[in-house]
Structure 1
């Protein structure tokens, strides 16, 4: 299955001057093969073609040039340096890498009620950067909701429509590191001049500027210069400007000059659309019941939706298994942090005891009756799986027992399920009942 999944879709393109060129169906294939099979491919290329042999990848569904999308398996030090994004000025030249990820585009950004304003504003800015009243454009929202995707999509669209414009994307941490390096090498003026000549400045996670007084002061002057010159400024943050504690009030005031738009967690229909879109992008075929199950249980984080699909694909491939609903349940339990907030230990205990027809108060007693012990162990087992409570806290809910008792209970259930089909079936039924309460 590994070969069929990762290598069968590869198409040869050309072989010239010791360079083999192949075509991959998606960017995800590129990243997966580079991470997991790079060493094997490198060894094979070197063995057959010698030290000068190279392998380049071209992504079938991207419109960018080959030089933007290829990677070399036989990487030299120069190759590695060339792949490292850099926006540092050099001898007054303005040649630079915009650092934009070509995968982040408007056509694969799923629109929904939670991002409607931000998406519409982003489109308007892309058509007329620096000339709208949305300057700066301040996008904020929780982790994994698509802020980075959206602000980079603006940059990519601007480059397409206005290729003469200088567009830079970077994280706040990168900006700070470059500033420190400029101080150490006495190039602060050069650093400032470089950024003052940018047409579109896109900075991610601006909240990490809090507490960095010198960097804030420098950014304040760069901001003023760009804004006065009608250059576009785009920022993202995990919170609105007014909640940026430790940020210079002058900067907060300027962040409010344009438009601050939030991105909310995706609604159910949007989560379905995201999953189907990503599954198609990854070349996955999954049934509607799997899509609906994931969308029902991962509710607040787009990144977790994507991560769930990637982990399912990887697990199925590495273990030669089909993508099934059982696999989806397993993966969701492992990565879906947001589903561990709807149930308490008492809720789980009530579900287990009602199903087994055991009085709830009995599982807290010291009795060793078989049916009581089973209900207690199952309650501990599911409490560990479905809540964020520590082992110590779980133990206290069951008559003041310590964490070692909880560990023993969980291990006992895991071990016995392997040999006891009845118990395995019971655990499955209880899990289904519990998960009805987590949706």
Structure 2
């Protein structure tokens, strides 16, 4: 049944032809459960109908649909706005712990090193005793050092211990956007209730609150309310609280009132561990010399480590080539300013460290002894000299008092094969490598 067409037929007896012609511009009219919904092209058309023709429409509609009739006139613009409002409400009403936590950011996926050990231990302590110690916990450090990973991992860990915990993870930017939305809706009390009804509140990148006075006021009161009832707050920033100059003094004071810990750039050993774990997850074989090149080149953050792996994997797959040191230098030259191996790392140092580890005399390593322990130490020292220095095979052979580099090639080949077959041997070589690099 064409509802609007039938109403127009009835109205033809009540209005002139020009008005009737205008009314034909309405394309949508629906009748449901005693309500007639008329959609107009825009707000001007809607106001014209309501001001001039609402009674005529009602009289014609009642003849057709019955006396107990409600008429609602809306513009298509209003309908679109209402749809957006409902979508926003649905997003804001979703449980944060189900939508905002990254499932990959757990403690089991976190590489622990000297750079983040204190922050990690603090997060574990907080998750096991929320609101009891280190409240708030303030974690700061440069971009891409794993602060967000720590926040998400803490939430996951708390949920594993208490599945019913009410958790909100958000960023300073999102916090501000939500506040503005609720203020425009006249629902500031709902906003406050939303953020005060939690067991754990995590806010990332609070440095972006600097200069945002209204947002700071709301956060100050929310923080106080949560702290008063023993609920846990964890914050992250790229700088410690004392350096957040655009923040109210009372808020800076609250941020610094618990435990403030720094996440530092990863050291060489941690970077190597990250590269090993990430390459394994990505299903790529990363030779030791390539790992060392990347780890010694990238000094800033973990994201760049992952970025270099992604680029190497892509090129390897596209070109059908195995990842090698030469390929890494070629592929990564535009991403990073590759630097040469540390000039201070000498073959002499490698020889002495290996000799000390195996408890053999340096002269034995440089001689021709065939004792099993001495031969193993010599081969490992040659292998490490090849991959930890920029010396040529000929230079290495001279350093070990050999006539030519064939002996060095054979030693490197034997060590690589033994590392593939013998896990204990592989761990020994890696331990020596890391010890030499970090000593």
Other-structure match for 1:88: 92
Aligned positions of 1:128-143 closer than 5 A: 128-132=129-133, 134-143=134-143
CA distance in 2, matches of 1:163, 1:251: 31
The alpha carbon displacement at 1:313 in A equals 0.9
CA distance in 1, matches of 2:260, 2:197: 24
Other-structure match for 2:391: none
Task: Judge conservation of contact 2:97–2:167 (CA < 8 Å) in 1.
Answer: no
Other-structure match for 2:301: 301
Aligned positions of 1:59-78 closer than 5 A: none
Aligned positions of 1:10-409 closer than 5 A: 88-89=92-93, 97=98, 99-132=100-133, 134-336=134-336
Question: Quick check: which has more Rg, 1 or 2?
Answer: 2
CA RMSD of aligned residues (A): 2.7
CA distance in 1, matches of 2:283, 2:90: 32
Task: Judge conservation of contact 1:171–1:204 (CA < 8 Å) in 2.
Answer: yes
> Measured at CA, do residues 122 and 338 of structure 1 come closer, stay the same or move farther in structure 2, by a change above 3 Å?
farther
Under a length normalisation based on structure 1, what TM-score does the superposition of the two structures give?
A: 0.55
The alpha carbon displacement at 1:337 in A equals 6.8
> Measured at CA, do residues 120 and 267 of structure 1 come closer, stay the same or move farther in structure 2, by a change above 3 Å?
same
Which 10-residue stretch deviates more, 135-144 or 123-132? 123-132
Other-structure match for 2:392: none
The alpha carbon displacement at 1:218 in A equals 0.6
> Measured at CA, do residues 157 and 309 of structure 1 come closer, stay the same or move farther in structure 2, by a change above 3 Å?
same
The alpha carbon displacement at 1:330 in A equals 3.1
What stretches of structure 2 of length at least 5 have no aligned partner?
A: 1-86, 343-439
> Measured at CA, do residues 338 and 165 of structure 1 come closer, stay the same or move farther in structure 2, by a change above 3 Å?
farther
The alpha carbon displacement at 1:336 in A equals 3.1
Aligned positions of 1:424-435 closer than 5 A: none
The alpha carbon displacement at 1:321 in A equals 2.8
The alpha carbon displacement at 1:119 in A equals 1.0
CA distance in 2, matches of 1:120, 1:235: 16
CA distance in 1, matches of 2:337, 2:91: 36
Q: What CA deviation, in whole Å up to 9, does each residue of 1:28-60 have, x standing for no partner?
A: xxxxxxxxxxxxxxxxxxxxxxxxxxxxxxxxx
The alpha carbon displacement at 1:185 in A equals 1.4
The alpha carbon displacement at 1:221 in A equals 0.7
The alpha carbon displacement at 1:217 in A equals 0.5
Task: Judge conservation of contact 1:209–1:215 (CA < 8 Å) in 2.
Answer: yes
> Measured at CA, do residues 278 and 85 of structure 1 come closer, stay the same or move farther in structure 2, by a change above 3 Å?
farther
Task: Judge conservation of contact 2:96–2:169 (CA < 8 Å) in 1.
Answer: no
- 1:103 aligns to what SS in structure 2? coil
CA distance in 1, matches of 2:89, 2:182: 17
- 2:98 aligns to what SS in structure 1? coil
The alpha carbon displacement at 1:87 in A equals 6.2
Which 10-residue stretch deviates more, 252-261 or 327-336? 327-336
CA distance in 2, matches of 1:317, 1:185: 52
Under a length normalisation based on structure 2, what TM-score does the superposition of the two structures give?
A: 0.55
CA distance in 2, matches of 1:277, 1:85: 40
The alpha carbon displacement at 1:97 in A equals 3.4
The alpha carbon displacement at 1:320 in A equals 2.9
> Measured at CA, do residues 85 and 260 of structure 1 come closer, stay the same or move farther in structure 2, by a change above 3 Å?
farther
CA distance in 1, matches of 2:129, 2:119: 16
The alpha carbon displacement at 1:98 in A equals 5.2
CA distance in 2, matches of 1:168, 1:194: 9
Task: Judge conservation of contact 1:136–1:258 (CA < 8 Å) in 2.
Answer: yes
Other-structure match for 1:79: none
What stretches of structure 1 of length at least 5 have no aligned partner?
A: 1-82, 343-439
